[in-house]
Structure 1
Amino acid sequence: MKKVTWTPEDMPALDDKIVVITGANSGLGLESARLMAARGAQIIMACRSQEKASAAKQDILDQVPDAKLDIMALDLASQKSIQLFAARFKQSYPRLDILMNNAGLMAPPLSHTEDGFEMQFGTNHLGHFALTGLLLDHLEKADAPRIITVSSVAHNVGNIYFDNLNAEKRYSRWFFYGQSKLANLVFARDLHRRLKAAGSKIQSFAVHPGYSDTNLQSTSGVNIFNRFFAQPQHMGCYPSLYAATSDEVRSGEYYGPNGHFELGGYPAKARVRKRAQKARLSQKLWKVSEEMTGVAYLSGL
C-alpha cells in the first residue's frame, strides 16, 4: 500500500550533503537541523546570536552525539554580515547542497535594519534574497542543489507596498509581515523560473509550516493561542524537510501542511494566492530587491 503521509523517517541518508540553515538556533530551524544531522548531513547553523546557537548545538549533540555541526555568524538584518558569511562559507566548504532560508521575524514593533530597511521585509525577504544570490555559484557546484524558502499562510493577506517598503508613510506590523511572506513566496517561484530558463540544475521551492508552536510568535503576541490551535513544533518543519530531501517534489512548487486551512498536517502542495502568480509583480520585486541589496544575480537570471 502506498504511504499517504510523509515524515522525516522517509528522509534518505544525507551523509554527503552540506546544508546551510538560517535561524538554526531555535524553532523550525533547530528542528530541521536536528533531524537532518541525524541523517548524517553537515549542518551550518547560520545564526545571529552565537550564544543561542552554541546552546542549540549542544542540545542537538545531546540527542545526536555524532552530529556534524558548524556555527557561523549571520545577521540577515545586515548586508555586511551577509557578505561576510558568504565569503567565509565559500572559504570553508567546497560546495553547498541545500540552502534553507528559514529565519524570520513575525510582527514586531516598527524598527529598521542596519541598512535602513523595514525590519521584516529587510530580514525575511531582502536578507535571504542577498544570501541566496551570493551563494548561488557554490550551489551550482553541487550535484543536485536545492533552495528552500520559508513563506507563510500570511502571504494571503500580504501586498508589496512598493511606495512604502521601508514604512516611511505608515506601518502595520501584521500587513508588513504578510508583505515579507508574500515576497518570500514570489521570490522562490520566480527564482525557479529564472534558474530553469538559464539551464541551471538548482531547484527552488517555497514552503510554509502552517500554524506551529514555536517561539516566533513571541514578538507578535499570538503565542497565547498556540496551546489550543497550533500543531507541534516538530511537524512545522516537515514541509521544509520534504522539499529539501524528497524525490516527490517539483521545483517551483509550494508545499505546506495538508490539514484544514493548511494549518497543520503532513506535507503536500499548498495553495498559491493569485497575486503571487503575477509576472509583473515578480519582475518588479526582483528588480527592487537587486537595487536595495546591491546583489546582482548571475548573468542570465
Structure 2
Amino acid sequence: MPYASSSPDWNVHRLPRADGRTVLVTGGNAGIGYFTAEQLAATGATVVLGSRSAAKAEAAMASIRSRVAGARVRGVRLDLADLGSLGRVPEALGVERLDAVVLNAGVALDDPPREETGDGHELMFGTNHLGHFALTGLLLPLLTAAAAARVVTVGSFAAKSERLDLADLQSRADYRPKRTYGRSKLAQMHFGLELDRRLRASGSTVASVVVHPGGALDALTPSRPPIHVRTAGARVGAAPAALLVQGKDAGAWPGVRAVLDAAVRGGELWGPRVFGLRGEPRRERVWDHLADTAVAGRLWGASRELTGVDPAVAPV
C-alpha cells in the first residue's frame, strides 16, 4: 500500500491513515516504544509490540486499546540479547510482508559492573546494536515483500558526543556505563545509515532512516498506568525542564514521522525541532562523525562477524 501524500505542515496530532500496513516496534511495551505504538495504532496500522515479557506486552496492549478505538495491536516475544532466538521472530509475526520496523528497544545500565549477554557480548552493545543488526537481516525478506518498507532506527542524543572505539566495541578495556550506552546507540545510528547505503547500492525498495528523541524524561511523560504513572510532585518538579526537554510521548514523534511520511527519505536523520532536544520532528544535518563511512563500514564488518547475519542480504 503506498504511503499517504505528505504535507509540509506535518501535524503530530493529525497523522495520516495507515490502514493495511503492519509495523513492528521493538520494546513497544514501555517508554518511547509504547508511545510510538500508541500513536501508530491510532492511524489504523496493525502494530506488533516486540517484548521480552508477555505480561508487559499485554499491559501495553490493554492500555493502547483503552485509548484507541478498534486498535489493531498484538505482541511477539523478542529478546534482542539472545541472538539465537531471533530466527523465530519472522515466522512468529505471521505476516506475508512487513511495512516497517522501528528499532527502539534498548537497555541502559547505571551501575558500574559490566554485564554480558548469553552470547558473550557486552549487554548494552549486544542488545541495542547487535540484536537489532541481526533482527533486521532476518526481517529483510518480509520488508522486501512490502511496496516501500521502512527500517527506523531510534538512536540517542547521547550519541552526539561519543565516538566509537573500533578496537574495543565490547568495552572490555574501557567500561563506563554512560559512555558504553552512548556508544551502543552511536553504533545503532551508524548501522541505520550504512544500511541505507547498502540497500540503495543493491537496488532495494527498503529505506533506512535514523531518528533520535532528543531529551525525553519520564517526569514529563503523561501517565499510562500501569505502564507509567507520573505523580503530581514529579510533574511540578520537572516543569522548569520542559523549557529544554520533553516527555516520551513527544520523543516518539520523529520515529512515527519516519514510518508514515512519504517525504522522509532513506539515509536521513530526524530529531526534535528545538536544539535537537524538544519539539516537533524535523530533518537534521547528519552529524559529522555519523557521516564517516569508513567507521560505519568497519563496524558493519565486525557486526556481521559477531552475529553471522548481513542485514543488506536477504537470507536464503
TM superposition score normalised by structure 2: 0.86
- CA apart distance, 1:300: 9.2
> Which of 21, 26, 46 lines up with 2:50 in the alignment?
46
2:297 matched residue in structure 1: 283
1:37 matched residue in structure 2: 41
- CA apart distance, 1:5: 5.5
1:71 matched residue in structure 2: 75
Query: How many Å separate the matches in 1 of 2:311 and 2:138?
Result: 8
Does residue 252 (structure 1) correspond to residue 256 (structure 2)? The answer is no
CA separation of 1:299/1:211 partners in 2, compared to 1, >3 Å: closer, same or farther?
closer
AA of the residue aligned to 1:82: L
Q: Deviations over 1:91-143 (max 9, x none)?
A: x1110001100111234332111211111111111111011010011101001
Query: How many Å separate the matches in 2 of 1:299 and 1:233?
Result: 34
For structure 1, the 5+ residue unaligned runs are none
CA separation of 1:288/1:123 partners in 2, compared to 1, >3 Å: closer, same or farther?
same
Tell me whether 145-154 or 269-278 shows the greater mean CA deviation. Answer: 269-278
Q: Deviations over 1:27-71 (max 9, x none)?
A: 111111111111111111100111111111111111123111111
> Which of 279, 299, 303 lines up with 1:265 in the alignment?
279
| 1:4-43 matches, cutoff 5 A | 6-43=10-47
Does residue 159 (structure 1) correspond to residue 174 (structure 2)? The answer is no
> Which of 184, 192, 215 lines up with 1:188 in the alignment?
192
For structure 2, the 5+ residue unaligned runs are 1-6, 220-227, 229-233
Does residue 124 (structure 1) correspond to residue 128 (structure 2)? The answer is yes
Residues 8 and 35 of structure 1 are in contact (CA less than 8 Å); yes or no, is this contact kept in structure 2? no
Query: How many Å separate the matches in 1 of 2:184 and 2:253?
Result: 21
Tell me whether 62-71 or 190-199 shows the greater mean CA deviation. Answer: 62-71
Question: What secondary structure, in the 3-state scheme, does the structure 2 residue paired with 1:296 have?
Answer: coil
Question: What secondary structure, in the 3-state scheme, does the structure 2 residue paired with 1:6 have?
Answer: coil
1:232 matched residue in structure 2: 247
- CA apart distance, 1:241: 0.8
Residues 48 and 76 of structure 2 are in contact (CA less than 8 Å); yes or no, is this contact kept in structure 1? yes
2:225 matched residue in structure 1: none
- CA apart distance, 1:226: 5.4
Query: How many Å separate the matches in 2 of 1:251 and 1:13?
Result: 21
CA separation of 1:187/1:4 partners in 2, compared to 1, >3 Å: closer, same or farther?
same
Does residue 99 (structure 1) correspond to residue 101 (structure 2)? The answer is yes
AA of the residue aligned to 1:46: G
Query: How many Å separate the matches in 1 of 2:256 and 2:40?
Result: 8
Residues 141 and 314 of structure 2 are in contact (CA less than 8 Å); yes or no, is this contact kept in structure 1? no
Question: What secondary structure, in the 3-state scheme, does the structure 1 residue paired with 2:49 have?
Answer: strand
Query: How many Å separate the matches in 2 of 1:85 and 1:71?
Result: 11
Query: How many Å separate the matches in 2 of 1:177 and 1:12?
Result: 34
Query: How many Å separate the matches in 1 of 2:120 and 2:240?
Result: 37
TM superposition score normalised by structure 1: 0.90
Question: What secondary structure, in the 3-state scheme, does the structure 2 residue paired with 1:8 have?
Answer: coil
CA separation of 1:14/1:58 partners in 2, compared to 1, >3 Å: closer, same or farther?
same
Q: How many residues align?
A: 292
> Matched residues, percent identical?
36
Query: How many Å separate the matches in 1 of 2:45 and 2:214?
Result: 25
- CA apart distance, 1:185: 1.3
Query: How many Å separate the matches in 1 of 2:268 and 2:165?
Result: 25
Query: How many Å separate the matches in 2 of 1:203 and 1:209?
Result: 20
1:115 matched residue in structure 2: 119
Query: How many Å separate the matches in 2 of 1:238 and 1:210?
Result: 10
Residues 97 and 145 of structure 1 are in contact (CA less than 8 Å); yes or no, is this contact kept in structure 2? yes
> Which of 253, 256, 259 lines up with 1:241 in the alignment?
256
